[in-house]
Amino acid sequence: MKRYLPFVIIAVVLVASIGAGFFMFRSTRSESTNPLGASPVAPPDVAKSSRDSTTPKGVVTIEEFGDYQCPPCGLLHPVLKTLKGEYGNRIELVFHHLPLTQLHKHALEAAYAAEAAKFQGRFWEMHNLLYESQSAWTDVGDFRPVAINYARQIGLDTARFQRDMDGLEVLTRVTADEQRANNLGVNSTPTVFLNGQLIQNDNFTVEGLRKEINQRLNANP
């Protein structure tokens, strides 16, 4: 027995090493795998840009992270609408949902309403109506009848609208926007990016944003 003891010890050590190596491999895979394909979360003081893709020449992309019940977002809305009217296809407006539910009790449902309207090709109509009527619904007890009434006003199939508003796809889309905000360190509304660059709140005027847009158009005609 003593003659085979060294071989037994070697075999035990080899098996243990293989097992440890397999465990480390599994741990590494589980830590590096991201089933949602989301980017790593960036600290707020590091995150400075949104889109990574190249903006087409002659076009400025304006991305807003907003909350439909947020008063400053309501003030920014006509500014962006005015600029869209001025620049037309030279600017692209992109809206990302960031409902601040701890502050605004109807913000999440309003985001669902806008996304549900998108299924029927009326996102921007609902978006505009929610902001332009913000003072009329922000203090109501039940937001659902308001949303249905707005859906009817913009010509939606209200039965489908309600199903979509309660559906998984709408929830997934709003959650994806919230995750995008988290990845960028965005935690307040409105937050605006122009061609991926964060814009300071002091520039949230027609004149301020017009200057920012013109700088980018001149740099990338």
DSSP structure string for 8-58: HHHHHHHHHHHHHHHHHHHHHHHHH--TT-PPPPPPTTT--B---SPPPTT
pLDDT of residue 219: 85
pLDDT of residue 54: 55
pLDDT of residue 57: 76
Identity of the amino acid at 37: G
CATH classification (class only), 60-219: alpha beta
pTM exceeding the 0.85 threshold for the entire prediction: no
pLDDT of residue 55: 59
pLDDT per residue of the chain (221 residues) written in tens, 0 to 9: 444 444 434 443 444 443 434 333 333 323 222 222 222 233 333 344 445 445 577 899 999 999 999 999 999 999 999 999 999 999 999 999 999 999 999 999 999 999 999 999 999 999 999 999 999 999 999 999 999 999 999 999 999 999 999 999 999 999 999 999 999 999 999 999 999 999 999 999 999 999 999 999 998 76
pLDDT of residue 98: 98
Total residues found in the chain within this entry:
221
| Annotated domain spans of the chain | 1-33, 60-219
